[in-house]
Amino acid sequence: MKQFSMAGAAVAFLTLTLPAFPQGGFVPGQKRPPGDPVQIARGKTIYGIGCTACHGADLRGGDIGGPNLLRSQAALSDKNGEMIAPIIHGSRQSTGMPKIDMSQDDALAVSAYVRSVLETIGGQGRPPATGKVPEKIVVGDAVAGQAYFSAKCASCHSVTADLKGIAARYEDPRALQNAWVAGGSRRRGPQAASKARTVTATVTLATDEKLEGRVVRIDDFLISLRLEDDSIRTFTRFGDKPKVDLRDPMQTHRDLLDTYTDKDIHDVTAYMVTVK
Amino acid sequence: MTFQKLPIALLLPALLLGQGKSVPTTELLKPLKNEWLTYNGDYTGKRYSALTQVNRSTVKNLTLGWMSRITPGPGAPAGGRRGGAAPAPLIIGGEGKGDINAGGGTIKCSVLAVDGVLYFTMPDNAWAVDAHDGRELWHYFWKTRGGTHIGNRGLAIWNNYLFMETPDNYLVSLEAKTGKERWHVPIAELEQGYFSTPAPIVIGNHVLVGTGNDIDAPGFLQSFDPETGKLQWKFYTVPMNPGDPGLDTWKSLDAARHGGGQVWIPGAYDPETKLYIFGTGNPTPAYTTGTRGEGDNLFTCALVAINVETGKMAWYYSTSPHDMHDYDSAQTPVIVDGMFNGRMRKMVMTAARNGYFFVLDRVTGERLLTTKYGQRTNWAKGLDKNGAPQHDPEKDPTVPGALVSPDSGGTVNWEPPAFSPDTGYFYVPEINTYSMLYLTELDPRGSMGLGGKEEVTVGTSGNYLDAIDYKTGKVAWRRPFSGGGGGVLATAGKLVFTGDGAGSLVAYDAVNGKPLWNTRIGQISNAPQTFMMDGRQYVIAATGDILWAFMLY
C-alpha cells in the first residue's frame, strides 16, 4: 500500500518526503543494535551449512520450499534470539519446520545473522539490493519505431535537429524512454521552460484589449501572465470572462498518451537508442 | 449543554476547561448535522450535512472567522497567542525515549466538532481548540518509537473519552476535557513494519482500529473495549489458517499469511444489519506474483462487511481481484438508501483507487453496478464474471515498461468522497495520471513489499471533480481542477466543498459543478467539514499546520 502524503496527482510529481528520522532499517526511526560481528560471522557460516537449502542464500526462500525469512513476523520481531532460536530447536515442527540440531549459542548466532540481514531491508518492504545488473529493456523493432516516428512525431521533431544525439544524452534506455514519453525530461528551475514547452495565453478584456504572455498559473478564479516586458499581470476570472485562449504546445504529447500502445513505445525507444 | 442538573463540584472544572459535552454512542447514530462526531461525521460515510444556512445564495458571504496555526512536538508554544490567555496544558505520553523528532506535520484528519470544541490530530499529536476562536485548550504529544509518519486521520469520541492511533501502533485514550491520558494499548508490532494512520471508529461498545504495513504482513481490523482497552476481537483480511475461506485464491498458506490487505481507512456502519463495511489494501508483494500465485488473493483490494459484535465476515466483494498496481481499495465506502432499477435498495458504494465505481447491495454484498470513472484507466481488460475489473497482464509491470493509467497513487487515494441525497451524485476526485511501470525483479520468488518495480509518472491528461450518478454509474459532470484537495463535503445547501489543488478552498454548485465561492488559503490538506454553533454555520478546512474556520455574519 502507499498512502499519499497529500492529495492529488500534482503531488505525484513531488518527492514524498518522510520526516527526518535517524537512519534505520525499513521501519523509520527503528535502528537495531549493531550486533557482535564475530557472532554474526559465525551465524552466517552456520546458516550457510544448515539453512540455505530451505530458506535461500539471501534468506528469501530456497529451492526446497522454506519460507522467506525477510518477511517472517517472528524474525522481524526477534530481538535476541528469543523468537528465532526456539523455532530452530523445533517449536514449529507441526507446520513443517524441522528441528535443527545445534547448540543454543549457534542458534543465537544464526538469529544475530538473520537480524543483520533484516536490517538491510529497504523502504516500503523492498528486499535488500542484490547488485544484479538491470534487465535490457530495449525489445522493440527499430524499423517500426522509425515509421511511427515519421508518422506521428516528425511534424514537430527531427533526429537531425532537436533530437540530434538524443541517445547519447541518456545512459539508461529507461530514462530515455521515460523522457520521450513524457515529452522531455522534467527539468526544474528557470531554464526548464523552453519555448517549445511553454504554455501561453491571450486574455481579451471587456475593452477588447488583448494581452498575451506566458501562463504563470491558471485556475477557475485567476490567470497570471508574464508579459513580453517580463511583468506579471493577474486577472480575476468570472466564468468565461475575460476570454482566455490557451495555447499549450505539450497538449499534443498529452493527447498521444491516450493513443500509444506499449508496442509503439518500445518500437520508438528501439529507434531512439540508435540516434546517437 | 445544560448545567442545571450537574453538581457544583463538576460544574466548576467544566467551566474552567471550556466546553465539551459527553457523547453517548446513541448520538453517533444520528445523521450529520450540527456537530461532527466521527471520522465521516456520521456512520454512513456520505459526508452530507443537513445544514442549509450556507447555501448557493449565501455562500458568497462566507467569510473568515478565525485561523489557528498549531505546532506539533514537545516544545510547542501553546495558548498564549490569543492575547493574555494562559498557556494551554501540554500532556506528554508515549513509549519512545523522546529522541525521535518527527518534525513538522500536516493536518490530514477529520476534526471532531463537539459542543463548541474542535478535536484534531497530526501524527503523534492531538489538540483541543475552542471552536469560537481556535484557541488551544490542550495539546497531547506522544513520544514515538518510530514508524512511518505519513498522516493521521483523527480521533474518535465515546462519552467523555477520545481515542487516537499512533504511527508506532498504540491506541491511546484521552480525557476529552483535559487531554490527560487514560491508557494506551499496543495494536500491532512496529518491528514487523506496521504503522497506524486511521481514525478509530466507535460503534456501541467497540472501538474499531485498523493499521497499515508495506512489507508482506497480514492485514487486520481489531475491536477494543472503550472503557478498558481490552481486545474484543481481531479480524484478519487474509486467510491465516488451513481451511480458512479464500485460501484457495493464494498459492500457499505462507503466501496468504503475508498477503497484505491492510485496513487503513475507516469504514461505514449500518445499524440495521450491524455490519461494518470497509475497504482493504493491496496484496503483497504488490508488483510480483511469484509467491502469491494467479488467484484473486482474497480478501485484499475488497469491500468487506463484518458483524461488529462478533468480528465475523458477512460478505466481501473484490474490487481489484489479483491487484498488480498497488491500487489499495481502502477508499471510504458510502451507505445510501435509494431507488435502483425501479426499487428501493439498501446500498453501499465506493469509487476505488483503480478507477472503477461500484454499487453493491449492502445487506448481501450483491453487486448492482460497475462503471469506469477514470477516463484514462487502462490497466484492466474488461470485467470478470463478478463484474470486477480484470487485470490485463500486459499492463502489469513489464521489463520493457507498460504505460499505465492511473499511476500507483490511483484515480483517488485516501481522500473521502461525499454523496448528496438531493442530487443523487457521488462526488469524488478523478486523477488521470500515466506512469511507465517497469518490472525490475525477475526472480521467480518475486519481490517483497512495494519492491520489484520502477515507476515514473510521465504525464496526466487532466484531473476533475466528478459527480457520479449512482443510478447509472455515469459521470453527470466533470469539473476540471488541478487535483484532489483532501476530500469532499456535500451539504443540504446544495453545495460541494473541496480544495482545488491550486490553492483554493472552493464551494461548487452540487447540481452542476459551477464554482460559486473560493478563498485562496493554500493547499487544502483534509476534507472540508461543517458544523453549527451559536446559530451560525461554520465551514472548516486545514492547510498544512493551519486550521481555518469560515462563517456567515
ipTM: 0.90
Q: What is the pLDDT of residues B293-319, one digit of tens each?
A: 999 999 999 999 999 999 999 999 999
pLDDT, residue B373, reads 98
Q: Domain residue spans in chain A?
A: 22-125, 142-191+252-272, 199-248
Mean pLDDT of chain A: 87
pLDDT band at A65 (very low <50, low <70, confident <90, very high): confident
Over pLDDT 70: what percentage of chain A? 87
pLDDT, residue B77, reads 58
Greatest mean pLDDT among A105-109, A193-197, B445-449:
A105-109
Q: Does B49 touch chain A (CB under 8 A)?
A: no
Residues 215-274 of A with CB under 8 A from B: 217, 219-221, 239, 253-255, 257-258, 260, 262, 265-266, 269
pLDDT, residue B76, reads 58
Reduced to 3 states (helix: H, G, I; strand: E, B; else coil), residue B460 is: strand
Q: Which residues, given as ranges, of chain B have pLDDT below 50? A: 1-17, 79-80
With beta carbons under 8 A apart, name residues in chain A contacting B445: 56, 60-61, 68
Measured between alpha carbons, how far is B313 from B278 in angstroms, rounded to an integer?
11
Nearest by CB to A125, from B402, B448, B460: name it: B448
Interchain contact, A219 vs B482, CB within 8 Å: yes
The residue-averaged pLDDT of A30-34 equals: 81
pLDDT, residue A196, reads 72
Q: What is the pLDDT of residues A14-30, one digit of tens each?
A: 333 334 454 446 888 88
Question: The whole model's pTM is what?
Answer: 0.93
pLDDT, residue B75, reads 78
Interchain contact, A77 vs B504, CB within 8 Å: no
Measured between alpha carbons, how far is B69 from B110 in angstroms, rounded to an integer?
16
Contact B150, B178 (CB under 8 A): no
Q: Is the pLDDT of residue A275 over 50?
A: yes
Distances (CA, A) of B99 to A24, B85, B94, B190: 14, 31, 12, 17
Smallest CA–CA distance from A261 into chain B, residue: B403
Measured between alpha carbons, how far is A55 from A269 in angstroms, rounded to an integer?
40
Q: Is the pLDDT of residue A212 over 50?
A: yes
A199-248 domain in CATH 2.30.30.100?
yes
Can you count the helices (H) and strands (E) in chain B? 2, 39
Instruction: Suggest the residue from B238, B413, B460 to mutate for an interface test with chain A (most A CBs closer than 10 A).
Output: B413
> Closest approach of chain B CAs to the CA of A136, in angstroms?
8
C-alpha cell read off for B199 = 481514525
Q: Does B390 touch chain A (CB under 8 A)?
A: no
With beta carbons under 8 A apart, name residues in chain A contacting B145: 29-30
Please name which of B202, B141, B198, B193 lies closest in space to residue B168, comparing C-alpha atoms: B193
Q: Does B393 touch chain A (CB under 8 A)?
A: no
Interchain contact, B260 vs A126, CB within 8 Å: no
Distances (CA, A) of B285 to B55, B107, B148, B410, B412: 47, 30, 18, 18, 21
Domain A22-125: assigned CATH number: 1.10.760.10
Please name which of B91, B96, B145, B153 lies closest in space to residue B120, comparing C-alpha atoms: B153
